[in-house]
Structure 1
Amino acid sequence: MKFFNLIPILLILSIEIHAQSIYAPVSARVIGMGDASVTLDGYWASFQNTAGITSTESLELGATYENRFGMPGMDFMATGITGKVPFGHISINAFRFGDDIYNEHKLSLGYATEIGIIRIGGRVNYIQYMVQDFGTRNTYSVDFGGIATITPQLVIGAQALNITQANINAETEQRVPTLLKLGLSYRPRDYFMLNAEIEKDIIRPAMIKLGAEYNFMEKFYLRTGLNSNSFQSFYGLGFKYLSFQWDYALSNHAEMGFSHSISMQYKLRKK
């Protein structure tokens, strides 16, 4: 039961680092770039800015796992599927954080479409919080975002998370965090991108996130990133082979230490 006494501390740390676990960055690719992800497209956008899934042309699925700071009970897991439909793109995914003492779950249904140079997308989330001996709380939230390709080298993205300002507990006015994100991606070459992003929780100071990705020999990826506020540093590797892609990320918090993440993505080839 000693670990039970640490729960409030761990929750505070989790909130300070990622404005609550339910909105933690998902996938080793995103983490490796310091979560400067509001302009990213592809499969993992279904967990970030849903507008980015419009670049997927076939059915894709994936799974990811992260353990934060090597601590029991600080495990993140997520899986989902994304596909193209006649009227746009859809995604279904699931996220879990925690253990039997404390955990968070999120199930999401997302949709995105493209209008000229602008891509827009949103998702509806079912969120559940459980604390042992204190019961379970459920709520719903809505996220909305957009991405604009100004030129092949310049992309702008924006996103609002929990625009409905959903409550965890209406009696105590505990709310799911409401976050606003604005980002810029500079892509001077097809194999290199540099991202800058600002994230603002409506009740917390703004955070600046920087990230970079370098693709070499077509199959390999190097990534790095940095966050202000907590001054975390991030590093990542990726490898693509046929329809599979594997990614690994390492992050370092100045006081809490290292976290590890691994992801797998599979693209179902068209016949």
Structure 2
Amino acid sequence: MSSPSLAQSATPITGARGQGMGNATACLTDEWSMLNNVAGLAGTKRSSIAISYDALPALPALGKMGCTLVHPGKVALGVSLYRFGDEVYHEQIAALGAATKWSHTQVGMKLNLINYAADGMGSKSVWSVSMGAITELTSWLIVGAHITNVNQPWLSKQSDERLPTVLTAGLLFTLEQNVIVATEVEKRINDTATGRAGLEFILHKKVKSRIGFQLNPQALTGGIGFHLRHFSSDYGIVYVQALGLRHQVSLAFTPRLTRKNEQSAEDL
């Protein structure tokens, strides 16, 4: 690929739940942990298959989609696929991750195969490593952090360009039994930090509403989620003044469980 500077334009943060909360996902544990903080895999209770599509009507070329397959256990496993862009330019990531839990701490690591392709300019593929951790400090406070592209793979030695390392750290507060607040800061090497925050409120046992914001770039977010025993759907919306509205829909399916495990899952 003769101009790798076209790369690095997209963040793989995926999932309408997180989007509704300002994309503050560093401390969240759900089926989208594979594309956010991989340590969250260790907190999943059910095997699941999920797919998400994120559309920006004003600029269709900036659409993205992702899918994940998660299996819990002493060592939880996950695989994910992610795509951003169109036929003229796109970025794709295939990842394999694992996570485990010790006491109140979850740790995880994943291997990413990242491909960049531009029409008429060829393509470039690199391997990168990401890792993360989530710790429950108290019954109302969780701390999470993850590092993306730890190894900073070369995109072009000729132009001295590497895939940047991204550091993210966040806090999650449980204000009441039905309210959580998530915050995080993301810092790319040689770039300005991004701040995010969001709130999730349980309206009903199976219905959740969300609101959030992001700084640099500035954005307002919101969303809603519906969760049944074996199926869940989430919708997230983002407003950026320069680009208008962005919409994301996520669907997840969990296979039938044993009666004992079903009851445990319903209590989540």
Could you say whether these structures have the same fold, taking a TM-score greater than 0.5 normalized by the shorter chain as the test?
Answer: yes
Give CA deviations for 1:9-59 in whole Å, capped at 9, x if unaligned.
xx98xx8xxx631x2320111111111110001211111001111122231
Q: Which residue of 1 aligns with 2:110?
A: 123
Q: Using the TM superposition, give the Cα deviation of residue 230 of structure 1 relative to its aligned residue in structure 2, in angstroms.
A: 1.4
Q: Which residue of 2 aligns with 1:149?
A: 136
The verdict on how the C-alpha distance between 1:224 and 1:118 changes in structure 2, with shifts beyond 3 A counting, is same
RMSD: 1.7
Task: Give me the TM-score of the superposition, normalised by structure 1.
Answer: 0.90
Q: Using the TM superposition, give the Cα deviation of residue 217 of structure 1 relative to its aligned residue in structure 2, in angstroms.
A: 1.2
- In the alignment, structure 1 residue 133 sits paired with structure 2 residue 120: yes
Among 86, 106, 113, the residue aligned to 2:100: 113
Distance 2:174 2:9 in 1: 31
Among 38, 47, 65, the residue aligned to 1:59: 47
Give the secondary structure class of the aligned counterpart of 1:58.
coil
* Alignment map for 1:53-202 (pairs within 5 Å): 53-85=41-73, 87-202=74-189
Distance 2:195 2:48 in 1: 31
Q: Using the TM superposition, give the Cα deviation of residue 145 of structure 1 relative to its aligned residue in structure 2, in angstroms.
A: 0.5
Q: Which residue of 2 aligns with 1:239?
A: 226
- In the alignment, structure 1 residue 225 sits paired with structure 2 residue 230: no
Give the secondary structure class of the aligned counterpart of 1:64.
strand
* Aligned partners of 1:42 and 1:54 also within 8 Å: no
The verdict on how the C-alpha distance between 1:133 and 1:140 changes in structure 2, with shifts beyond 3 A counting, is same
Q: Unpaired segments of 5 or more residues in structure 2?
A: 259-268
**AA matched with 2:96:** L
Q: Which residue of 1 aligns with 2:264?
A: none
Q: Which residue of 2 aligns with 1:3?
A: none
* Aligned partners of 2:76 and 2:98 also within 8 Å: yes
* Alignment map for 1:35-46 (pairs within 5 Å): 35-46=23-34
Q: Which residue of 2 aligns with 1:48?
A: 36
Distance 2:186 2:149 in 1: 14
The runs of at least 4 aligned residues of structure 1 exceeding 6 Å deviation read none
**AA matched with 1:20:** S
Give CA deviations for 1:89-135 in whole Å, capped at 9, x if unaligned.
01001001111111111000000000111110010000000000000
Q: Which residue of 2 aligns with 1:267?
A: 254
**AA matched with 1:244:** F
Number of residue pairs the alignment of both structures matches: 255
Q: Unpaired segments of 5 or more residues in structure 1?
A: 1-7
Task: Give me the TM-score of the superposition, normalised by structure 2.
Answer: 0.91
Q: Using the TM superposition, give the Cα deviation of residue 248 of structure 1 relative to its aligned residue in structure 2, in angstroms.
A: 0.6
* Alignment map for 1:202-221 (pairs within 5 Å): 202-221=189-208
Q: Using the TM superposition, give the Cα deviation of residue 254 of structure 1 relative to its aligned residue in structure 2, in angstroms.
A: 1.4
Give the secondary structure class of the aligned counterpart of 2:41.
helix
* Aligned partners of 2:12 and 2:36 also within 8 Å: no
The verdict on how the C-alpha distance between 1:164 and 1:220 changes in structure 2, with shifts beyond 3 A counting, is same
Distance 2:75 2:36 in 1: 18
